[in-house]
Amino acid sequence: MKKIPLVLRLLIGIISGIIIGLFFPEGISRILYTFTIIFGEFLNYIVPLVILAFIIPGIADLGEKAGRLLGTTVLTAYVSTIAAGTIAYLISVRIVPAIVEASEIADPEAGGLEPFLRLEISPVIGVMAALVTAFVFGLGINYLLRNNGDESLYNIANEFRDIIVLVIEYVIIPFLPLHIAGVFADMAFAGNAFETLAVFSQVFGIIIAMHIGYLLIQFAIAGSVSGKNPLTSLKNMIPAYTTAIGTMSSAATIPVTLKSARKNNITAEIVDFVIPLGATVHLAGSTISLVVCAVAVAAIMGLPLDFALFFQFIALLGVTMVAAPGVPGGAVMAALGLLTTILGFGEGATALMIGLYLAQDSFGTACNVTGDGAIAIFIDAIKAKLPAPKTA
């Protein structure tokens, strides 16, 4: 039996939640909302573990490819990711609040439903502590791999990641539609559901436009450095873009991305190195999506839209999402801790964020992998201009 796509399941959850909130007895809505509150607590618990599980193996893996090429590629990918998020913030902060204000949406977290039960599931470690711990262990395992060949902790880290991936794939993702349904049942009960959906549809269009615009910028820069025609190079990456829309995973799209990138006459060594690495560290499309969604949800909730807060969010986002693109929906799961600690999102805001982001997750992934082609062109051109390393 063919599995129903996640986007369709989320849509069913939204519609079901609205119907329940509008037409069903309040007791039914409260039962659904109770699940949402408890599931939200579980998400708060799992987020630090997601950060540990994604970042530790991601940093450890980089150690096997040490050298100047690695540093140049990672730095280029990170700068691209930060630039994408910053541009997305500067544009969306001038457009999205006006859309929200025109829609006159009240704070969805001020809805009228009360859960029958609340369970406090405290995280075993704080978000920032998890981030620091992930760096310490990731770099430590990196060192052990390169100097001692010791793979014991590396294997444990990867097995831990496999466990968290299973939790995401078999617990979080399947129950997300029900979680979102509870949020929209509460919003429908309070009279905010349709206005929120209207805003989301406009935000979705803004995100896609930004993806396309940033890809043009990336390939224009790569073309100016390499001398290649940027539009032709971008056209050659279209198969990777369309494949990523279907897979929703940068890692799963790597074979097609490699094939597409080779059409741009890039050195084979560079393609084989940069494309798989880019699937882990280059997250420009996902960052654009997350930043625009965060601006929209913050505007709806009446939270601050300060540049300092969002730049801190963007800077850390490029790190916390390392290796997350291998998992559909992994990027927003890894970002939840930053949304709560830096931007001050509550349970209702994070639920809205998840729903809005996952509705277009495949397009963010497509922008990521297509941009990897531009990174490969850029790195190939830079490597050609660098002096060859001296031999003894």
Beta strands in 76-214 (DSSP E): none
Residue 330 has pLDDT above 80, yes or no: no
334: confidence class by pLDDT, cuts 50, 70, 90:
confident
Half-sphere exposure of 22 (CA within 13 A, CB side): 12
Task: Give the DSSP H or E segment for 357.
Answer: helix 347-358
Length of the chain, in residues: 392
User: Distance between CA atoms of 371 and 380, rounded to whole angstroms?
Assistant: 14
Q: What is the pLDDT of residues 188-228, one digit of tens each?
A: 887 777 777 788 888 889 999 999 999 999 999 999 999 99
The chain-wide mean pLDDT, for the chain, equals 83
Per-residue confidence band for 229, with pLDDT thresholds at 50, 70 and 90: very high
Q: What single letter denotes the amino acid at residue 379?
A: I
Per-residue pLDDT for 232 more than 90?
yes
HSE, side-chain direction, 13 A CA sphere, residue 70: 9
Residue 377, pLDDT score: 94
Helix spans in 249-328 (H): 254-262, 268-281, 284-301, 307-320
Residue 136: per-residue pLDDT: 86
Domain boundaries defined on the chain: 6-383
- 104 pLDDT higher than 70: no
Most confident of 25-29, 129-133, 171-175: 25-29
CA–CA separation, 354 vs 180, rounded Å? 8
Rg (CA), the chain: 21
What percentage of the chain has pLDDT greater than the value 70? 89
What CATH architecture applies to the domain 6-383?
Orthogonal Bundle (1.10)
pLDDT band of 325, cuts 50, 70, 90: low
Is residue 159 helix, strand or coil? helix
Q: What is the pLDDT of residue 55?
A: 74
Q: At what angle do helices 173-190 and 347-358 cross, to 10 degrees?
A: 120
Structure tokens at 78: 């990170």
The confidence score (pLDDT) of residue 392 equals: 43
Judged against a pLDDT cut of 70, whether residue 105 lies above it is answered with: no
Q: How many CA atoms lie within 13 A of 33 on its CB side?
A: 27
Nearest-5° Cα angle at 286, 111 to 235: 135
Q: Report pLDDT for 241.
A: 92
The tokens for 126 are 């704080």
Q: What percent of the chain has pLDDT over 90?
A: 28
Contact 284, 218 (CB under 8 A): yes
**Which amino acid, one-letter code, is at 12?**
I
Distance between CA atoms of 168 and 164, rounded to whole angstroms? 6
Residue 218: Cβ within 10 Å count: 27
Q: What are the φ and ψ backbone dihedral angles of 297, each rounded to 5 degrees?
A: -65, -40
C-alpha 27/C-alpha 114 separation (Å) is: 10
Give, as one character, the DSSP assignment of residue 65: G
Question: What percent of the residues of the chain are helix, what percent strand, and what percent coil, each to the nearest 5?
Answer: 80, 0, 20
Residue 207: both structure tokens together: 């995100």
Q: Residue 158's closest CA among 148, 166, 149?
A: 166
Residue 372, pLDDT above cutoff 70: yes
| Single-letter amino acid code for the residue at 143 | Y
pLDDT tens readout for residues 335-345: 888 888 899 88
pLDDT band, very low/low/confident/very high, at 66 (cuts 50, 70, 90): very low
Region 61-75: what's the mean pLDDT? 67
Please state whether the predicted TM-score (pTM) of the whole model is above 0.85.
no
> Quick one: which H or E segment has residue 201?
helix 193-226
42-58 average pLDDT score: 80
pLDDT, greater one: 297 or 198: 297
Residue 89 pLDDT > 70: yes
Q: Where are the beta strands (DSSP E) in 82-215?
A: none
Q: How confident is residue 313, by pLDDT bands cut at 50, 70 and 90?
A: very high
- Give the pLDDT score at 147: 83
pLDDT at 3 over 50: yes
**pLDDT at residue 278 above 90?**
no
> What is the spatial distance between Cα 293 and Cα 340, in angstroms, rounded to a whole number?
14
Q: What is the pLDDT of residues 143-177, one digit of tens each?
A: 888 788 778 888 999 899 889 888 888 888 888 88
